[in-house]
């Protein structure tokens, strides 16, 4: 937990601090989804500009900023990938997550745990989860791609998400 105030010249300084802390995470997510550096840089810019324009969208009482930015970034990038208009207003996104991602060391520990959990998953589960998350495919699209029943795909995705959660509950 840290306390930062932007004083005197508005809060450009506070934004720079936030950028230095979270830009790697935001950029990595955008790049993973979009696969192209120029587009990822645009999403990075957009996400931080959103925060600048509407800091109240992030409800600090209900989640941590790193997690929230991760979710916002992925959603923005998917919207870009699928050429659709942004679906949710960022203010509607509430995220609650256990690990505190403000600290770089904490974040890299969490990262290791998540990667470990993904590696430990059955291949079909991991790939359903990643197709839904990083490609924004619907369960219908995933089912068509893999030739498996809709219900199976749905259940896999949920079980996959919960498996990630469990890693942090231990």
Partner 1 sequence: MSAHQQFADDLALLALGTLQGDERVALEKHMEGCPACRRELERLRGDTALLALSASGPKPPQRSRERLLKAIAQEPRAKKIPARRSSSNFKPWLAAVAFLLLAGFFWRQSDRLAQRVAQLQDESVQQQAQLERAREVVSTLTSTDAMRVTLVAAQTPPQPQGKAIYVRERASLIFLASNLVSLPPQKAYELWLIR
Q: Of 64 and 80, which CB lies nearer to partner 1 in the complex structure?
A: 64
**C-alpha to C-alpha distances, 41 to 7, 94, 157, nearest whole angstrom:** 28, 24, 29
| Residue 45 in contact with partner 1, rule: CB under 8 A | yes
- What mask of x and - would describe binding to partner 1 in positions 7 to 26, judged by CB under 8 A? xxxxxx-xxxxxxx--xxxx
Q: Which of 89, 115, 120, 149 binds partner 1 (CB under 8 A)?
A: 115
Minimum distance of partner 1 from residue 34's CB (angstroms): 11
Q: Counting contacts by CB under 8 A, is residue 95 touching partner 1? A: yes
Question: Residues binding partner 1: what is the number (CB under 8 A)?
Answer: 93
- Per CB under 8 A, 93 contacts partner 1: yes
Residue 119: CB atoms within 10 Å: 8
The residues in 140-159 that bind partner 1, with binding defined as CB under 8 A, are 151, 154-155, 157-158
Using H for helix, E for strand and C for coil, what is the string for 45-96? HHHHHHHHHCHHHCCHHHCCHHHHHHHHHHHHHHHHHCCCCCCCCHHHCCCC
């Amino acid at each position: 937990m840290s306390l930062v105030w932007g004083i005197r010249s508005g809060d450009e300084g506070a934004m720079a601090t936030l950028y230095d802390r979270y830009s790697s995470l935001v950029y990595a997510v955008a790049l993973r989804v979009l696969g192209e550096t120029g587009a990822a840089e645009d999403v990075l810019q957009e996400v931080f500009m959103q925060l600048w324009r509407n800091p109240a969208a992030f409800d600090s009482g209900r989640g941590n900023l790193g997690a929230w930015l991760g979710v916002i970034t992925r959603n923005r990038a998917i919207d870009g990938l699928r050429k659709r208009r942004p679906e949710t207003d960022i203010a509607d996104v509430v995220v609650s997550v256990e690990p505190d991602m403000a600290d770089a060391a904490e974040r890299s520990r969490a990262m290791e745990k998540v990667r470990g959990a993904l590696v430990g998953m059955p291949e079909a589960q991991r790939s359903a989860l990643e197709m839904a998350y990083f490609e924004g495919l619907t369960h219908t699209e995933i089912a068509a791609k893999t030739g498996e029943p809709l219900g199976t795909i749905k259940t896999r995705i949920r079980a996959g998400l919960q498996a990630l959660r469990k890693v942090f509950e231990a």
